[in-house]
Structure 1
Amino acid sequence: MNLLLLSVIFLVSGPKGQPTTALYSNGFSGAVGTVATESSPVHDIQDYYSASTATAQMDGEGHLQSVNPDQAAATYRFRLDPTGAPSEKFGAVKLTADVRVPSENWVGFGFHGADAGGILTQGADAGPWALIAPTYTRVFGGCVTSNALDIIRTDGLCSAGDWITLDVTYFCRTETVSLQINDHLLIDRQPISHTASFSGQTETPSLQWAQVQFFYQEAGTNGGGIVDRLIIETYPGLQGPEDQAAMITPHPQFLWNEDSFEYGSEPIDAYQVQISTESGFRLLVVDDTIQTTRYVPVDPLAAGDYWWRVRALRDSGPGNWSLARRLTITEPAGVYTVPSGSSASDIAAVLAVADNNSPAMVRFERGTYRVAPSSDSSVLSLNGASDLIIDGNGSTVMIETPDAGFSSLKSCTNVTVRNFSIDYDPLPFAFGTVTAVDTGNNTFDLQLWDGTPRLDDDHMAAAQLAGNGWGVLLDTKVPGRLKSNVNDFYRTEDSFAQVDTNIFRLALTAAHQYRISDFSINDIFVKLSRQQGLNYVFKSKDLTFYKVVTYAAAGANLVGSYCDSVNVLRSGSRIADGRWASGCADGVHCQNFRNGPWVQGCSYQGIMDDGANIYAIPMYVRQKFSNTSFRFYNTATYDLRADDQLTFFDPLSGWPIGGARIVSSTATNVSGVNYVDITLDAAIEGAISAGTSKIHTTVYNVSRNGKGFVFRRNTFGDSRRYGLFIKSSDGLIVENTFEGLSGPAITVQNNPGWPEGLNSSGLSVISNLINGCTFSSYILNQERGSIELQAKGYNGTAEFESSWKGQSDICIQGNTIVDWQRRAIRAHCAENLLVEGNVIANTVDSFAAGQSNYAIYLKNTANAFVWDNQIDDSRSLTGTIEVQNSTNVVVLGNTVP
């Protein structure tokens, strides 16, 4: 069986009618003597078709009956799944009918395979079915010769002539069945199988056609069995964790598949997720909604048993709950203590013991740990570890090695790091006040604050020489926030002069000398010593960082490559009292993740690069053997899998060349050089430019672009550059706050000049608050947006806007954008776009610069809907909604000044 569950239901109880979630319903209300056929089901079913033998007719009183007692198979059938056997969309199949018990022989309800003329009692691919007879009921795995369960007598429960509700539920993943008559459960998830009569082989039952079969039945007036109503409902299935799974991970990832929740054409708005400590869901620990097909609890689940379920939410109401699954969170048997005052080597020794005895917990005694790991190493370093919880217990770790990190997790699985505060002494950045500016010599004097490193300290000088010692000008009133309408970084010459106690004279490099006019006396300047990432993850899966709060970081708070499902929860960066920054690089930086990160409840303040960056790094072509066969350089080729989707991209045109899926990948060595040979399932027809520079053909593994990422209820504030830099698919950005960022809050675009890519599709940007972003001069001069979409090419010198509509299937809905600059929403190079219900407003009286300012700006778009947006901005706008070089754009119901 496929990992997804399958479910089909015939469900009837109470008065006539149908559940809103019914896939199919028939009350047989036709005229007497008419054959029971329909043109369509309740909800859309692909290639739906129904048929009936001439002797299965309606009696004019809302019933279906047989009118030929000599016929063994008077049938009514309808096709549920045109693809063959079996459908893998759903979780369980419940067949329910209101039926009058016959006076002799039986009436059957069930499934059969692809043959439209098939019947329940015959056929090699018959599916599970049940019958009701005058004194008994029985369930079969397939045709009448196949794996029948024991006869169940119905004496005392019902008899000939009684009306009953018959429910038969088939659970495909476990291949079990339940049978209920009225309120009496007669069979409870009993295993059942189907043995093909022609081969003797066990087969997965087919659920392609559903059917009612009258076996030698008189008409209803003569005591024959009749059917009053027939309904099919689908119960969704779940993907993982498996039912009755056990794990120590307190933040498990819950997964399901959208297809399992579909029963018609009405779109799904969101999913409701419930987690309970008892099976009846009366003691809920989680009752939440999410707009994607996965869920991670933001707070840990305590050890114990849990039941979880999911249902789809639509405008018409909620769907059926999925089948509930049980999950057990276990306490690690081994607990290993890190004593207060331990050194870096002491901590490493405890980790090694725990790693060798996992599942285990490493618990720090609460306190402050001053540690000095070796250069380019980490305090917590694990390789190949699994099933560990490392609990700081609220401790502070003070790192005394400026170019060391806090954690390094390589090839790890199911590792949780939680409850730590991280700081550095000395700090990985210096800050001070500008005391003098010499525009003629392009210099400025910087008086360092107490507690900051000197510019000639080893780590500061090393970063400067490596090109990682640039700096930024900050707002003098708001720590972390860049100065408005100036450049967003400055490089200085390697040499500098000390002109007084703690005062240094720095000169801008030739490339930045024209920006000396940005500097004023009393400005705050921060100079970085950008080094390795604070938390580094590599080739790992199912990692969680919970309440890991950083007050200083030499690099990104979290940086990782080739990982799968990393959670960052209630963590982030804070600006300590008396400081002006917290980190030298990004908040969350993910490259080539197979499944993207889940980031929730975090706050990033005072970081000097993007809040998050999600992308794939490209591969390069060494040789083209044919349109389906290539040799790649051994760059970014880790974990290529069959069926991975590749996109070949031409930077010079800014357009994709083509795409195909991997059939096979084989490592090879030619003259001592490693390569990877790739075979594809479809031809790449366009011209390929072999080589490894940025202008050559770049190949992106779209299956490893961090798809499915979630940023939920976070704050990104008072920091340099972008909030979120997205080149990934199927992501969710919901209920976040972006405030005081020098660049766009959310930018969705490829970056071929770096290079990073590629494009985004299936992206939802919903209910975010964006306040006072996009104010650096670098951004203002480019007509950027608080939320923006764009596709780019690279000509060897600079990036340019492409004519390719690379960003697709994107929803920008219900966001509030306040005190924006240039563009509140800027959508270029996009198709299948919804911009709906956004509020665009102001609290300040004017724009930062005198350029053009539009609330919503579309260019080179197709199939776009701009609906019901409220533009409530009292400033002087160049325009409210502007559409250029676009097709099929609908602008409707917007409120404008």
Structure 2
Amino acid sequence: MLPWRLKFCRFVSVLCTVAGILGNIRAEADIQTLISNAIRQKAPEVVIPPGVYKVQPASGGRVHLQVKDASNLTIKAEGVTLLCGKRTMAMEFVSCKNVRLQGLTIDYEPLCFTQGEVVRIADDRSWIDVQLDAGYPREPFSRIDLIDRVTRFRKRGMPFLWGAKAEMVGESTVRVFRDGIGKAAALGDLASLSTGPDPGGAPHGLTITASSDMTFEDVTVHSAPGFGIFESAGQGGSTFRRCSVTPGPPPTGATSERLLSSSWDAMMTAAVRKGPIVEDCRIEKAGDDSWSVQSTDYLVLAVDGTRAIIASRQPYDVFPQVGERLVTGLTSPEAVVASLRPVNLDQVSLGAGTRDKIKAAKPWEVWGVSAKVFEVTAKDSFPFPVGQNLYNPDRQCNGFVFRNNHLHNSGRILIKASDGVIEGNDIKDGHAGVTIAPEYPGAIGGVRNVVIRNNRFVGTGYFCPAPWSGQAGCISLSGQGSIDAPTFRDIVIEKNYFEDFNGPGIVIVSAAGVRIADNLFRNVMSETPNPTGQDLGIDGGALIWVSRSSDLTITGNRVVRPGAFFRQKVVWNEAESDSVATLESGIVIERGD
């Protein structure tokens, strides 16, 4: 008889062999069929066998995997990797309710970006050559970030480089053109070059559209042709728990670690009635913002009594629904939607000069509207003129929670919603920490009842300076309203830890009822302030900079070992000196250890 140890080893060997065979079989399973059958049979649960699934969209399709009209379903996908073969949407949930996804990993082959090293710079600094790393796509993507080769993170001092163009020069070198790019780059810098969807494809990795009460647990996105995770329309109320948007392992044939996760923002929720809960998630090295809750943004093109032609300014904006409101601020008049229908911009009647303004506008300018245009009839009156920006306070993602998340990402947290909490997060190396703002030129909004507390902010404000922008602080409330009609009300910033930020710590523009309490600032403002906000007169040497605001309270804050570029506790040019002195008494400076 064989010794028991030998029997056991043979048993384990056979078991592992069988498991390997089953793993290969499972990786060939049709996930779409499994899920579609579960939806049709109204099953409460479907289990996807573990494995790597190399998937392609259906013929003529733009999505690798779709979950549509599902309700009360749990999709268990622990140990499952969806390896997408085209740069188009990985997975889409449409018109779903109370669906739970657990454990899925999304990645792409080929990747949605490439990367390499700067090996040549034009004498006139108008282009740079990037030698691509082994194993990464040989394609001339043009959305470029310069990366510090030591930290393998976005290079401090990098300006905005959007609008670049690229071409291949040889089999493995990309030449990137943009005025002045050679001034920002140095030989030996690393670079990531990313892209959106393939022609005819759809952007983003995981999307949730027109759905409600969704739950995503332990879901990971390693690459995406757009946002990593994007939710829009519908009732909302989703929960994201222990989800990640982080770089994946090196691709086949590569020896260098990935420099990028999603090509654009990591996570965004837009135009839902109830905001999401995001807890214990991890976001690293995305191409833009870390996380945001977005409202709608419309421009009035024509008015005739109670009827108006409205255009959305962003492609993810959704039409308002009957009974929802259109407003310009927290206390503005409102138009209640009685009916609406989509229209063709080329076929509607517009006033003199309006169409010319639209044609001449750049995408980020006030008249830069999208192709989403509709005619709305208001219930009683439509009190807004042509050229006025509007938003829908009923689809503003209100009631959000962003808690206990880890962010090491060059982008910020961007808030356009009310009744929210941002707490317990570790936020490192973003171009800003938290920004509450309508964001775009001419855009308006209204935000109230937001609490920012017990967060840790480290290393913000060191790249992508924007002299034209009011979003200059590690935390910014950047509104366009007046003192009498502020953009923000009842905001609390308390018990946060700040370290090593560049420029102002907190910027407040157009707010009422802001409380800044019990925050600790350590080793801040040690380098020359970046020029963000200079065109608006924002002082980069002010710990707190205030304008067009009222009812501000500052108490119990400490600044330990401030840097050489810290000049003043509070700058509020419109306020009386006695008022500023009272506010400054709520900030204690400790210059020793």
The within-5 A match list for 1:515-664 is: 515-531=181-197, 532-563=203-234, 564-577=236-249, 578-621=257-300, 623-626=302-305, 629-633=306-310, 638=319, 640-642=321-323, 644-648=324-328, 658-660=332-334, 662=336, 664=338
- The question of whether the paired residues in 2 share the 8 Å contact of 1:339 and 1:364 is answered with no
1:588 is displaced (CA, Å) by 1.6
Please name the residue that 2:27 is paired with: 341
Please name the residue that 1:503 is paired with: 173
Q: Which amino acid aligns with 1:486?
A: M
The within-5 A match list for 1:112-261 is: none
Measured against aligned partners, the alpha-carbon deviations of 1:199-256 in whole angstroms (never above 9, x if no partner) come to xxxxxxxxxxxxxxxxxxxxxxxxxxxxxxxxxxxxxxxxxxxxxxxxxxxxxxxxxx
Alignment match of 2:423 (pick from 706, 722, 734)? 734
Sequence identity (%): 19
Alignment match of 2:492 (pick from 783, 786, 811)? 811
- The question of whether the paired residues in 1 share the 8 Å contact of 2:307 and 2:382 is answered with no
Alignment match of 1:688 (pick from 364, 385, 390)? 385
Match of 2:543, SS state, is strand
- The question of whether the paired residues in 1 share the 8 Å contact of 2:501 and 2:524 is answered with no
Match of 1:589, SS state, is strand
Please state if 1:701 is matched with 2:392.
yes
- The question of whether the paired residues in 2 share the 8 Å contact of 1:605 and 1:716 is answered with yes
Q: Which amino acid aligns with 1:778?
A: P
Find the aligned partners of 1:492 and 1:507 in 2 and give their Cα distance.
7
Find the aligned partners of 1:825 and 1:443 in 2 and give their Cα distance.
36
Please name the residue that 1:895 is paired with: 588
1:494 is displaced (CA, Å) by 4.2
Structure with the higher strand share, 1 or 2: 1
Find the aligned partners of 1:622 and 1:845 in 2 and give their Cα distance.
48
Find the aligned partners of 2:476 and 2:339 in 1 and give their Cα distance.
36
RMSD across aligned positions (CA): 3.0
Match of 2:502, SS state, is coil
Please name the residue that 1:355 is paired with: 39
Find the aligned partners of 2:341 and 2:540 in 1 and give their Cα distance.
53
Q: Where in structure 2 are there 5+ consecutive unaligned residues?
A: 1-22, 198-202, 250-256, 349-372, 532-538
Find the aligned partners of 1:553 and 1:448 in 2 and give their Cα distance.
20
Please state if 1:678 is matched with 2:358.
no
Measured against aligned partners, the alpha-carbon deviations of 1:301-339 in whole angstroms (never above 9, x if no partner) come to xxxxxxxxxxxxxxxxxxxxxxxxxxxxxxxxxxxx996
Please name the residue that 1:128 is paired with: none
- The question of whether the paired residues in 2 share the 8 Å contact of 1:780 and 1:822 is answered with no
Q: Which amino acid aligns with 1:422?
A: I
| Structure of greater Rg | 1
Find the aligned partners of 1:556 and 1:675 in 2 and give their Cα distance.
26
Please name the residue that 1:720 is paired with: 410
1:615 is displaced (CA, Å) by 1.8
Match of 2:283, SS state, is strand
1:530 is displaced (CA, Å) by 1.8
Match of 1:446, SS state, is strand
Q: Which amino acid aligns with 2:395?
A: R
1:356 is displaced (CA, Å) by 0.5
- The question of whether the paired residues in 1 share the 8 Å contact of 2:494 and 2:519 is answered with yes
1:657 is displaced (CA, Å) by 9.5
Q: Which amino acid aligns with 2:173?
A: I
Distance 1:771 1:669, change over 3 A: closer
Please state if 1:476 is matched with 2:149.
yes
Alignment match of 1:425 (pick from 109, 116, 128)? 109
- The question of whether the paired residues in 1 share the 8 Å contact of 2:500 and 2:523 is answered with yes
Q: Where in structure 1 are there 5+ consecutive unaligned residues?
A: 1-336, 461-468, 650-655, 690-695, 794-800
Find the aligned partners of 1:881 and 1:847 in 2 and give their Cα distance.
18
Distance 1:417 1:880, change over 3 A: same
Find the aligned partners of 1:557 and 1:637 in 2 and give their Cα distance.
20
State the TM-score, normalizing by the size of structure 1.
Answer: 0.53
Measured against aligned partners, the alpha-carbon deviations of 1:145-198 in whole angstroms (never above 9, x if no partner) come to xxxxxxxxxxxxxxxxxxxxxxxxxxxxxxxxxxxxxxxxxxxxxxxxxxxxxx
Please state if 1:415 is matched with 2:99.
yes
Q: Which amino acid aligns with 1:895?
A: V
Please name the residue that 2:568 is paired with: 879
Find the aligned partners of 1:440 and 1:853 in 2 and give their Cα distance.
34
Distance 1:675 1:434, change over 3 A: closer
1:895 is displaced (CA, Å) by 1.1
- The question of whether the paired residues in 2 share the 8 Å contact of 1:338 and 1:350 is answered with no
Please state if 1:825 is matched with 2:506.
yes
Measured against aligned partners, the alpha-carbon deviations of 1:488-515 in whole angstroms (never above 9, x if no partner) come to 43443343422xx5233x1423xxx124
Please name the residue that 2:370 is paired with: none
Match of 1:778, SS state, is coil
Distance 1:675 1:788, change over 3 A: closer
Find the aligned partners of 2:24 and 2:294 in 1 and give their Cα distance.
37
The within-5 A match list for 1:773-852 is: 773-779=460-466, 784-792=472-480, 805-842=486-523, 846-847=527-528, 852=540
Match of 1:604, SS state, is strand
- The question of whether the paired residues in 1 share the 8 Å contact of 2:502 and 2:529 is answered with yes
Structure with the higher helix share, 1 or 2: 2
Find the aligned partners of 1:483 and 1:610 in 2 and give their Cα distance.
16
The within-5 A match list for 1:398-409 is: 398-401=83-86, 403-409=87-93
Instruction: Spell out structure 1 runs of 4+ moving beyond 6 A.
Output: 668-674
Distance 1:423 1:516, change over 3 A: same
1:574 is displaced (CA, Å) by 1.9
Measured against aligned partners, the alpha-carbon deviations of 1:54-103 in whole angstroms (never above 9, x if no partner) come to xxxxxxxxxxxxxxxxxxxxxxxxxxxxxxxxxxxxxxxxxxxxxxxxxx
Q: Which amino acid aligns with 1:455?
A: E
Find the aligned partners of 2:500 and 2:301 in 1 and give their Cα distance.
49
Instruction: Determine which structure has greater relative contact order: mean sequence separation of CA pairs < 8 Å that are 6+ residues apart, divided by chain length.
Output: 2
Measured against aligned partners, the alpha-carbon deviations of 1:653-711 in whole angstroms (never above 9, x if no partner) come to xxx89322627335598999795443346x665x611xxxxxx2222111111111111
State the TM-score, normalizing by the size of structure 2.
Answer: 0.79
- The question of whether the paired residues in 2 share the 8 Å contact of 1:490 and 1:508 is answered with no
Measured against aligned partners, the alpha-carbon deviations of 1:799-818 in whole angstroms (never above 9, x if no partner) come to xx999631211111111111
- The question of whether the paired residues in 2 share the 8 Å contact of 1:594 and 1:703 is answered with yes
